[in-house]
Chains A and B, each alone.
Chain A
Amino acid sequence: MEGMIVQGFNGISLGSILLLIALGLAITFGLMKVINMAHGELIMIGAYATYVIQLLFKNHLPPEYFNWYFLLAIPFAFIVAALIGMLLEYTVIRHLYGRPLDSLLATFGVGLILQQTARSIFGAPNVGVEAPPFLRGGVEVMSVMLPYTRLFIIALVIVCFLSLFVYLYRTNGGRRIRAVMQNRDMATCLGISSRKVDSLTFAIGAGFAGIAGSALTLIGPIGPTIGQNYIIDAFMVVVVGGVGMLTGTVIGAMGIGLFNTVFEFWTNASMGKVLVFALIILFLQWRPEGLFSLRTRSLD
C-alpha cells in the first residue's frame, strides 16, 4: 500500500512537471505547428529569472521578505520568457510558419545561442536556488512523506492549466487564437490580425516555459543546459496526447509520468526510458495521430 502511494505520487509528480513543460509546447507545437527546439532554453530563462529574483531578495531586502520571493519570481519568469519569446517570434519564427522541420533547425540554432549567452552571463557551473522557507518539509500521508515542493508544483500546474483553458476556450482573445490556428484565411477575412495573434500565441507559449523553469528551480540546481533534459520528453507528451488538444496533453503527461515511474521501479532508470520509448512506439501503432486529434479533410 505504501509502495503504491509512493509510486503513484512520484508518477503524478513527474507527470505534473512534464505537463508544465508541455503546456507551452502544446501551444507552440500543437496549435502553431512550430517545433520550437529553443523551448528548453526558454525554460532555462525562466529558471535564471527566478535565480535573479532570489539574489535580489537575498542581497537587497530585509530577510523577513525572503519568504515571498517565489510568488514574485513566477510572474517575473513568465514575463521575461514571454518577452524573449515575442522577440524570437518576430526575428525568426515568423518566417517559418508552415515549415515545421525548418523551424526545428533554426530554433535549435537559437537554442545554442541562448545557452552560450547564459553561460557567458551566469558562468558554466550550475547555480542553486534556495527553496522559499514555506516550501521546506512535507506532509505525511499514511506514513509516506510528500514534500511540499512537489505538492506546490502540482498545484501550480493545475492553476496554469485552468487559466490556459479558460483563456483559450472562454475569452475573446482565446477564441481569436483558435480561429487563426484552425483556418487562418477565414479568420483574417473576418478582421482578425493574424500577425498579432501569432505573436501573442507564441509569447504565451514561451511564458509557460518560463513558469516551468521557475518550478524546476525547486527540484534541483540550474545550469545552461537545464532545458535539454526535459525537452524531448515534453515533445513525446504532445505527440502521445495528440496535436492541438489540451486534454490530450494532460493525459499524455500523466501517462508517461506514471509509466516511467512504474518501469523505473521494476527495472532501473535507463531501462525505464527504453521501455517508455517502446511503449510509445507501440501506442502510435494503435493511434498514429495521438490520443486526441482534430479531424480534417485536407489533403495535399
Chain B
Amino acid sequence: MAFSLSKYLFDRRWLFVALLIILVACPLFLSDFRLNLLGRFLAFAILVIGLDLLWGYTGVLSLGHGIFFGVGAYIMAIYLKLEATSGAVPDFMMWNGITELPWFWAMFENPVMAISFAILLPMLLAGTLGFFIFRNRIKDVYFTILTQALVIVTVTLIISKQEYTGGTNGITGFSTVFGQSLMAPSTQKSIYLITVLCLGLIFFLCYRLVHSRFGKTLIAIRDGENRLRFSGYDTSLFKVFVFALSAGIAGLAGMLFVLQVGMISPTTIGIVPSIEMILWVAIGGRGTLIGPVFGAITTNLAKTFFSENYPDIWLFFLGSIFVIVVLFLPGGFMSLFKKWRFKKKGGIIDETKSIEEAKRPAV
C-alpha cells in the first residue's frame, strides 16, 4: 500500500495538482505582502516553464529571456501608465520635452492590443532572431553568446532612449487596472489567482506538448540533431518555433510580473537576471517541467530570505549554488527524487549523467 502511495505522491502530475491546490489556497492564510511576493515568484515560474521547454527539452540555451520577459512587462507597464494618466503624456516624457504621445505608446491604450502584443511581440522578436540564427546552423554556444549580446543591446537601448522608456528609472506610478485600484488587496488577490491559473494552464499545455510526437522530436534534437536532420527533419524550424513559444510565455510572465510589482526597469531584465532564470531551471531539474517551477519558487524564497537578512553574503550564496548545482547535481533536485524513487523500487541506477555529458563525444 505504501508503495503505491509513494508512486502517486511522486508522480509528477499529482505533484503538480497538489502544488496547484496549495497555491490556490494560499490567499486564505498568507498576509497580503507575502501573497504579493509569492505571486511574483509564480510569474517567474511561468517563465521557467517556457525556458525549460527550450533548454531542458530542445537543448538550446538562451540567456536572453530577460528581454522577452521585459517586452511583455514594458507593454503592460505602458498600458497601466496610460490608464494612470488617462491617456495624457506621462511626466517623464514631458521632462524630456515630448508633448505628444508616440505611436508605440498610443496603440497600447487599448487593453486588448496591450495584452495580445505583450505575448505576440516577444514571439515575433524571437521568431525573427531565431530564424536568422538557426537557419545557418549557428551552434549552441554561439547562440547563447548572441542572446547574451541581445540583452546588452536592448538594455543599452532602453537606458539611452530615456524619453520613451523612462531610462534607468523604468516606468512606475501606476494607479488602476481595468478601473480597480492596482495595489488594493482585493485586486492583488485576483491578480494572484489569475497568475496561478495561467501557471496551471501553461503547465498543462506544455505537458501535453512534450508528451506528444512533437515533444519527442524536441528531445531528439537535443540528443542528436545531426541524426535527426539526416532522417529528413528540418530541425531549425522546430527550434524557431520552440524559441518563439518560450518567448511568448516569457512575455506573459512579464505582464503578470508588472501587475504585481507595480514597476519595471532595465535592472529587472539585464544580464544577471537573465542568467539567474537559467539557474532556476538548473536547480529544479531541466527536462522535467515541474522541477523548474519548484526551482523558481524555492530559489526566490531563499533569495528573499538571504538578501533580507544577510545582504552581503547573498552573492556568495548565489554563486556557490551555481557552482554546486552544475558540478554535483546536473539533473537538479528532481534527479534526487528520481534516484530515491528508483532505489525504493530496488532498481540499480546508472549514474545520472547530464545531457551534455551524454552527448559528449568519447574524447
User: Interface on A for B, CB 8 Å cutoff?
Assistant: 33, 35, 92, 95-96, 98-102, 104-106, 108-113, 115-116, 119-120, 184-185, 228, 232, 235-236, 239, 268-271, 273-274, 277, 280-281, 284-285, 288, 298-300
Tell me the nearest residue of chain A to B321, going by C-beta: A109
**18 A–B contacts, CB within 8 A, in A order:** A98-B360, A100-B141, A101-B356, A102-B354, A105-B278, A106-B322, A108-B275, A109-B318, A112-B318, A112-B322, A113-B320, A115-B315, A185-B363, A232-B148, A236-B145, A239-B145, A268-B160, A274-B153
How many chain B residues touch A (CB < 8 A): the figure is 55
* Inter-subunit contact A300/B361 (CB<8 Å): yes
Query: Which one of A112, A274, A298, A299 lies within 8 Å of B157 (CB-CB)?
Result: A274
For B275, the chain A residues whose CB sits under 8 A away are 105, 108
Q: Is the interface of A mostly helix, strand, loop or mixed?
A: helix
Give 5 closest A-B pairs by Cβ, nearest first: A109-B322, A112-B319, A270-B160, A113-B319, A116-B315
* Inter-subunit contact A300/B316 (CB<8 Å): no
User: Interface on B for A, CB 8 Å cutoff?
Assistant: 61, 129, 132-133, 135-142, 144-146, 148-150, 152-153, 156-157, 159-161, 224-227, 271, 275, 278-279, 282, 312-313, 315-316, 318-323, 325-327, 330, 354, 356-357, 359-361, 363
**Closest CB-CB distance, B89 to chain A, in whole Å?**
23
* Inter-subunit contact B271/A284 (CB<8 Å): no
Query: Which one of B61, B142, B144, B156 lies within 8 Å of A270 (CB-CB)?
Result: B156
**Closest CB-CB distance, B128 to chain A, in whole Å?**
10
Tell me the nearest residue of chain A to B60, going by C-beta: A101
For A104, the chain B residues whose CB sits under 8 A away are 61, 141, 144
Contacts A104-B144, A184-B363, A281-B146 given: A99-B157 contact, CB under 8 Å?
no
**Closest CB-CB distance, A120 to chain B, in whole Å?**
7
Contacts A101-B356, A298-B361 given: A116-B141 contact, CB under 8 Å?
no
**Closest CB-CB distance, A28 to chain B, in whole Å?**
13
Query: Which one of B141, B145, B161, B316 lies within 8 Å of A232 (CB-CB)?
Result: B145
* Inter-subunit contact B150/A96 (CB<8 Å): no
Contacts A101-B356, A112-B315, A232-B152 given: A281-B322 contact, CB under 8 Å?
no
Query: Which one of A109, A113, A285, A300 lies within 8 Å of B132 (CB-CB)?
Result: A285
Rounded to whole angstroms, the CA-CA distance of A19 and B78 in the bound complex is: 41
Rounded to whole angstroms, the CA-CA distance of A113 and B157 in the bound complex is: 29
* Inter-subunit contact A270/B157 (CB<8 Å): yes
Rounded to whole angstroms, the CA-CA distance of A37 and B159 in the bound complex is: 24
Rounded to whole angstroms, the CA-CA distance of A10 and B161 in the bound complex is: 25
* Inter-subunit contact A270/B323 (CB<8 Å): no
**Closest CB-CB distance, A47 to chain B, in whole Å?**
19
Rounded to whole angstroms, the CA-CA distance of A92 and B324 in the bound complex is: 9
Tell me the nearest residue of chain A to B129, going by C-beta: A281
* Inter-subunit contact B359/A300 (CB<8 Å): yes
For A95, the chain B residues whose CB sits under 8 A away are 327
* Inter-subunit contact B326/A105 (CB<8 Å): yes
* Inter-subunit contact B357/A98 (CB<8 Å): yes
